[in-house]
Amino acid sequence: MRRILVPCLVALSACSTTPDPADVCTAAWIEPRVERAVERIETRLDKALRAFRTVGDSWMNGNTPGPIQMFRLSNAANDLEKELVDGRGIRDLRMLASTCNDPNLIREQVYTLLDREGLPDPLLNFLDATGILEGLIETAEGRNLNDRNG
């Protein structure tokens, strides 16, 4: 009986001692957690981000990406979407955004990630103009997950 009762009491006491977000969400607390979450996303998307970079470089050089590059771009976009829907890093960012009541956290980090990866501006502008980037960010924020499941 004790084996069941003790874990239950520990779990209940943990719930009752949830700290106030104003006390917890300091820059010193949130920065390493955000960085770790973004690094998880970067690691999982390394191949996809390389494909984005290759296509972006083609556009920067005035070339139209060929069918193979466009196929890779399509696969990269699918990989990006999968990671932003249910990847460990994005789940961590959602938890941080919720805990710290910061609705712009995910959006800022996705843009920071793409900028840090050196994706060319014309590619980012294309993704932005077509609504692809906005859709991915909304998915990452969990705003349009219900639309897909319903």
pLDDT at 1: 56
> Helix/strand/coil (H, E, C) string of 50-113?
HHHHHHHHHHHCCCCCCHHHHHHHHHHHHHHHHHHHHCHHHHHHHHHHHHCCCCCHHHHHHHHH
State what percent of residues in the chain have pLDDT above 90: 13
Q: Would you place residue 80 in the very low, low, confident or very high pLDDT band (cuts 50, 70, 90)?
A: confident
Output the furthest CA–CA distance in the chain (Å, rounded). Answer: 72
Question: Tell me: the pLDDT tens digits for 17-50?
Answer: 555 666 778 889 999 999 999 999 999 988 888 8
Tell me, what DSSP letter sits at residue 27?
A: H
Yes or no: say if 105 and 37 are a contact pair by the CB < 8 Å rule.
Answer: no
Yes or no: say if 30 and 82 are a contact pair by the CB < 8 Å rule.
Answer: no
Please tell me the distance from the alpha carbon of residue 52 to that of residue 58, in angstroms, as a whole number: 10
**In this structure, is the dihedral angle defined by the CA atoms of residues 4, 9, 12 and 17, taken in order, positive or negative?**
negative
Once rounded to an integer, what is the mean pLDDT over residues 74-103? 88
